[in-house]
Structure 1
């Protein structure tokens, strides 16, 4: 692989200068701030946001009386302020006996998966709650403590959510090699629209941490493959495409993380698609062809099934405990004849009909089942998260739809290997083509991001068509494409002036054409004027949709905490 780097002192004739957030050193090095210091500040900001969210949640919980079923939950301890919505179900599943449930007024609930509707909640978080609540048992005379379960699990979830922006920053830098873009996306993700889900015993934060770690393991940075540091924004370099398969050890660890994801949330089974892609699409059909890579694929292909194992185990458990005569006996003979033998009892444990049956019957989950007039506020509340996600997907696919199709169909095409234009150079050029709308993420700029975009497409379809659409607010932290699209919106307006509309990006003709000797006909003042506003000061003017998005994130961070504390929707 060849690496060609242009010094920062030499202006790039095809790219307008971008307002830098870091001071450039005179000797042409990247910046005075190291990546470690950037990551450290990212963690500090994330930890501060989570701490402030905890304080606001406690404050809102003390200032209002909880609505609906949580009104009977005792408010004797601060830990009970974190018990709302799904947390009440998780706590009832974690409680080892009826006494533990009755103490928290979980009406009719008893420890474990006693009722069918509880199977909709994956077992990982109840297991964490039960284990955390069992820690006081080491003290003589103590029993299982729901307060300890809530406090310890909430702390673990908060720590997981603090790590998520850092993981997103590293993932974006691997795919785009652009630190400013990746850092913008990471900072925006701190303002995830469901801050309460990051500090309470809910599976979203650990799920996001496991999923982003899985994506990091499976992603291959072109720069890292050759021992080159990722470039800072504004430095021009050209990298030849590489198609190196992921190492087997990373695939094994990624499969384990996929199982963790599906044990936390059922949509974690989609990680099997990521594994399949990196085993079959990247592991086979490379420069060496199918002959030498077929054995490797066959050896690693069983890893695709690992993320599905938790859901299969849930199905097997339901077959054993929810079917047959023991079903009515366990419930005191209170079930009707139709309820004694549900339809999934005759389908087998590998059909996944039990889980879909529970979701449809008890939680109204199904194709367009949620699309009703009464649910329109919930659908609209998810729009600010779904819009940048869908916009990013659309832009990425149609930036080069032919390459997307060839890459997606690669294992079935003759010749197998699909060549791409050099990633970084293509990104810098396509930012100023009329049809690209100044977008950063395209098929040419980040070809290895295609599998993540495919995953985001499936997730978006499930959220819009099948699920309760407002849970997009909770899952946003685990959807990198949401924040990449949001960062794209923000950075589109970076060359405007304060108080004015965004200016048109400078073209190569405005700055001078590049000559054979590497010099430019444009002056430094022309290059600098593209990044400055009135009065010669660099300014960042957000586009209207970027302003609306950032305003919504800030507003909803506060409002959602107040709604959650009072047991009000959406949740």
Structure 2
């Protein structure tokens, strides 16, 4: 594989005989080094915030911010209303693995068992997500673009892939769901895996848009999508999507039912406001009550630095969305865009708007590893693809491959530099329990 150069053109990326195995080996090596650095730094940097001491007196590098809630839920279940913002699947898995480790060591489960189980799960899930991202990108684009996308994915601007957080496992289950749906056409398995994603993060409920959109429009190019075609496909295909869609949303509904039974039905004191609503969904209430989540609520002067932190992701997303919109205007000089890619881009656009206007915007720094479109946007912007065999001006995302040359763009240099610098800074901030997280 040839190194990307910024000055003179270099031969286009040559993919290894076993690129998936190469990705797995590289991913394991990166995680091992990163986890080792986190452990060493935790012994050198004192913690600014002492909230982890409520769980353990030992300074575990994985015990920060939301992970404190996760460990508390693993140990004691959902004790406090604000904990209902976190979906239960990761905590259940950590409980199972922690008990297994404790059993092997011949003692009761301890915080150390939970933390290192979470670190291991996240590292393995992230490596798996990297491999699946490569295979999915090969199917939708081609090997050269896929290997570039995966390399960029492996230097994310966040330490989360080495931490007991939900994002790595959410990324793995989401990427696998999309792969099963688009490549294998296994809609029932897709519904099961999307349900696992939903069990990790509540935002997984929006994956139903991907499932429904791809299910209705699979195999079409954008230029063939018309109201008549959509109506016919809605009548002939919607029946096979009912069970997968029901599976996708079921974990969200189950946690709402559990919350009502635990915090409302059995509560002998004054009822909470969400308990008295017509649809007693606790998730929205908790996000508003404890984290002030709402439209433009985060847009205040003190939060400007946090809003600007993920700006490179938003900028590359704007460029990627622009490219896909232009590609949808089919001409003789542009290839047809697959409907599956369009659906993924629509979902991506909605999630970017949600994170920008209705969330704590800086969480995109860790949520970026859960969206494949972000990395297609980055790969498309980071490199100028000069293909000798095609001078027709076709969209770069579609002509990558064959004999040609690549050149690292200014955006690519800035992106790689930003990722390296911010991932280092964020690792130190995480260990010291400093915001943002």
TM-score by length of 1: 0.67
2:343 aligned with 1:451:
yes
Partner of 1:208: 171
Would the aligned equivalents of 2:216 and 2:230 in 1 still touch at CA under 8 Å? no
| Mapped partners of 1:507, 1:400: distance in 2 | 19
Would the aligned equivalents of 1:137 and 1:144 in 2 still touch at CA under 8 Å? yes
Partner of 2:4: none
Task: Give CA deviations for 1:315-365 in whole Å, capped at 9, x if unaligned.
Answer: 11122122256253xxxxxxxxxxx322221335xx463210110000111
Partner of 2:375: 483
Would the aligned equivalents of 2:95 and 2:114 in 1 still touch at CA under 8 Å? yes
Judged with a 3 Å threshold, the aligned counterparts in structure 2 of structure 1 residues 216 and 71 are, in CA distance, closer, same or farther, namely closer
1:34-45 alignment runs, 5 A limit? 34=17, 36=18, 38-45=19-26
Would the aligned equivalents of 1:181 and 1:491 in 2 still touch at CA under 8 Å? no
2:421 aligned with 1:551:
no
Task: Give CA deviations for 1:474-520 in whole Å, capped at 9, x if unaligned.
Answer: 1111111111111111222x55xxxxxxxx999949xxxxxxxxxxx
| Mapped partners of 2:175, 2:88: distance in 1 | 21
Deviation at 1:398, TM superposition (A): 3.1
Partner of 1:184: 148
Partner of 1:257: 193
- Which of 396, 405, 408 is the matching residue for 2:324? 396
| Mapped partners of 1:74, 1:293: distance in 2 | 51
Partner of 2:274: 344
Judged with a 3 Å threshold, the aligned counterparts in structure 2 of structure 1 residues 114 and 75 are, in CA distance, closer, same or farther, namely closer
Deviation at 1:291, TM superposition (A): 7.1
| Mapped partners of 1:487, 1:188: distance in 2 | 7
SS at 2:11's partner residue? Answer: coil
Would the aligned equivalents of 1:324 and 1:341 in 2 still touch at CA under 8 Å? no
1:370-449 alignment runs, 5 A limit? 370-401=298-329, 429-430=333-334, 444-449=336-341
Would the aligned equivalents of 1:65 and 1:71 in 2 still touch at CA under 8 Å? no
Larger Cα-atom Rg: 1
| Mapped partners of 2:258, 2:56: distance in 1 | 35
SS at 1:134's partner residue? Answer: helix
Deviation at 1:292, TM superposition (A): 9.3
| Mapped partners of 2:232, 2:304: distance in 1 | 54
| Mapped partners of 1:471, 1:154: distance in 2 | 19
**Please, which runs of 5 or more residues in structure 1 have no aligned partner?**
1-16, 23-30, 96-110, 221-245, 329-339, 404-420, 431-442, 496-503, 510-527, 532-539
Task: Give CA deviations for 1:204-254 in whole Å, capped at 9, x if unaligned.
Answer: 00000000011111114xxxxxxxxxxxxxxxxxxxxxxxxx74xx10000
Deviation at 1:288, TM superposition (A): 10
2:18 aligned with 1:20:
no
TM-score by length of 2: 0.86
Number of residue pairs matched? Answer: 415
| Mapped partners of 1:283, 1:19: distance in 2 | 33
Partner of 2:95: 130
Deviation at 1:283, TM superposition (A): 8.8
Judged with a 3 Å threshold, the aligned counterparts in structure 2 of structure 1 residues 352 and 209 are, in CA distance, closer, same or farther, namely farther
Partner of 2:73: 93
- Which of 416, 424, 430 is the matching residue for 1:564? 430
- Which of 356, 375, 378 is the matching residue for 2:284? 356
